[in-house]
């Protein structure tokens, strides 16, 4: 009976016009961060194509779990999408044994939207000008410093843990609902450093509020070519990219998934959206639903080791 109902739903979606009303994109983080900026840029473009409003629904908290659970347990009619990230689809399923959703069972991948590097920023109170200075300072005072992230079990948390392990330093971790919220504590020196999206960290560096030390991509960013990569600053092979992918409730038909995939790919190929994302430090991706699964698989293999060695768990 369940299979028959699923086929019936799929048939309706395949034949009925879509969308006939507003489409909602649920975000796992608060407004002002990279996920929000990327979703709003894409949403505006899709609204033009669909002739319907695209509503951005920010539901921060629990490292992204609140938003993901909302979509997994919510509407199956194809009008609610999740802007998933490495945190919601890879990390939380590993670290949280009581997660209210199954990242593979409950969602159907649609398309990889974008990828963005993270920037290592330090408090202006620290006597450092480059990554080597920070490592030397932290090694000299083990456990004396605290780094921030956008939540326990998020990609920025894991990047921070991977950096500490690679650099041979010990530091406490302070989770925030979103990385932007840590700015006052970074400025005051309560927080020593943080890895987070170049979308909001670079403007803070440009304004002189924070010190930019290194970027987590393989190559330097064209937005800040003067900033070296972490790898070239001494931690060979270090990389920490955040990706953003649209997913939908797994009960939605493949026909509708294919329709949204085609529309998003078309939007991502447009020069104006590419430019808007590039201005945020993100690179437009696109591709097939299987590309999302490939990213999930590869990152699961990569981050499981970091999680295990750091002993990260959410009970």
Give the pLDDT confidence of 175-203 residue by residue, as tens digits.
998 888 999 999 999 999 999 988 789 98
Give the pLDDT band (50/70/90) at residue 33.
confident
Whether residue 247 sits in one domain with residue 111: yes
- pLDDT of residue 4 exceeding 70, the answer is no
Higher-pLDDT residue of 285 and 199 is 285
> What value does the mean pLDDT of the chain take?
91
User: Does 71 fall in a domain?
Assistant: yes
Q: In whole angstroms, give the CA distance from residue 66 to residue 83.
A: 13
User: Does 175 fall in a domain?
Assistant: yes
Higher-pLDDT residue of 87 and 40 is 40
Range of the domain at 69: 2-6+19-116+242-310
Whether residue 152 sits in one domain with residue 126: yes
Higher-pLDDT residue of 33 and 259 is 259
Whether residue 191 sits in one domain with residue 127: yes
> What would the DSSP string read from start to end of 246-259?
EEEETTS-HHHHHH
User: Does 140 fall in a domain?
Assistant: yes
Whether residue 144 sits in one domain with residue 122: yes
- pLDDT of residue 151 exceeding 70, the answer is yes
Whether residue 101 sits in one domain with residue 182: no
CATH of the domain at 279: 3.40.190.150
- Whether the CA torsion 278, 280, 281, 287 is positive or negative: it is negative
User: Does 233 fall in a domain?
Assistant: no
Closest CA to 299 of 158, 164, 175, 178: 158
Contacts 24+ apart (CB under 8 A), 184-191: 185/148, 186/121, 186/122, 186/123, 186/148, 186/210, 187/123, 187/124, 188/123, 188/125, 189/123, 189/124, 189/125, 189/126, 190/146, 191/123, 191/146, 191/147, 191/148
Q: In whole angstroms, give the CA distance from residue 55 to residue 23.
A: 6
Whether residue 92 sits in one domain with residue 25: yes
25 vs 36, 40, 44, 84, 139, CA distance in Å? Answer: 10, 9, 11, 10, 43
Over residues 295-302, the mean pLDDT reads 92
Whether residue 112 sits in one domain with residue 127: no
Residue 101 DSSP symbol: S
Whether residue 264 sits in one domain with residue 124: no
Q: In whole angstroms, give the CA distance from residue 175 to residue 109.
A: 28
User: Does 315 fall in a domain?
Assistant: no
User: Does 56 fall in a domain?
Assistant: yes
The string of pLDDT tens digits covering residues 251-281 is 999 999 999 999 999 999 999 999 999 887 8
User: Does 237 fall in a domain?
Assistant: no
Find residue 283's DSSP bridge partners. Answer: 115
Specify the number of domains making up the chain. 2
Whether residue 88 sits in one domain with residue 128: no
- pLDDT of residue 3 exceeding 70, the answer is no
Whether residue 74 sits in one domain with residue 38: yes
> What would the DSSP string read from start to end of 54-100?
EEEEE---GGGHHHHHHHHTS--SS-EEEEEEHIIIIIHHHHBTT-S
Where a domain ends, among 153, 180, 215? Answer: 215
Among 2-6, 153-157, 184-188, which range has the highest average pLDDT?
184-188
What pLDDT, on a 0 to 100 scale, did the predictor assign at position 5?
Answer: 44
What pLDDT, on a 0 to 100 scale, did the predictor assign at position 179?
Answer: 87
Whether residue 121 sits in one domain with residue 198: yes
CATH of the domain at 159: 3.40.190.10
Give the pLDDT band (50/70/90) at residue 315.
low
Whether residue 275 sits in one domain with residue 207: no
User: Does 231 fall in a domain?
Assistant: no
């Amino acid at each position: 009976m369940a299979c028959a109902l699923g086929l019936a739903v799929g048939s309706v979606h395949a034949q009925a016009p879509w969308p006939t009303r507003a489409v909602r994109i649920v975000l796992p983080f608060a407004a002002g961060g990279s996920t929000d900026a990327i979703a709003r840029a894409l949403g505006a473009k899709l609204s033009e194509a669909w002739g319907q409003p695209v509503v951005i629904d920010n539901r921060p908290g629990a490292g992204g779990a609140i938003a993901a659970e909302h979509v997994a347990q919510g509407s199956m009619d194809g009008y609610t999408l999740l802007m998933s990230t490495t945190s919601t689809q890879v990390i939380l399923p590993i670290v949280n044994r009581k997660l209210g959703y199954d990242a593979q069972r409950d969602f159907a991948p649609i398309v990889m939207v974008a990828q963005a590097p993270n920037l290592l920023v330090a408090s202006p109170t620290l006597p450092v000008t480059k990554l080597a200075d920070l490592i030397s300072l932290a090694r000299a005072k083990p456990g004396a410093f605290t780094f921030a992230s956008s939540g326990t079990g998020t990609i920025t948390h894991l990047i921070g843990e991977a950096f500490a392990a690679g650099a041979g330093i010990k530091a406490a971790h302070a989770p925030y609902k979103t990385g932007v919220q840590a700015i006052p504590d970074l400025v005051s020196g309560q927080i020593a450093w943080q890895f987070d999206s170049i979308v909001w960290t670079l403007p803070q560096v440009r304004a002189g509020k924070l010190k930019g030390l290194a970027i987590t991509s393989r190559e330097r960013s064209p937005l800040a070519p003067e900033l070296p990569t972490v790898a070239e600053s001494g931690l060979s092979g270090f990389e920490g990219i955040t990706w953003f992918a649209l997913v939908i409730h797994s009960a939605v038909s493949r026909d509708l998934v294919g329709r949204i995939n085609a529309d998003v790919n078309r939007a991502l190929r447009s020069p104006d959206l590419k430019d808007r994302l590039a201005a945020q430090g993100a690179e437009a991706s696109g591709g097939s639903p299987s590309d999302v699964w490939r990213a999930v698989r590869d990152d699961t293999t990569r981050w499981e080791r970091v999680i295990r060695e750091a002993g990260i768990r959410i009970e």
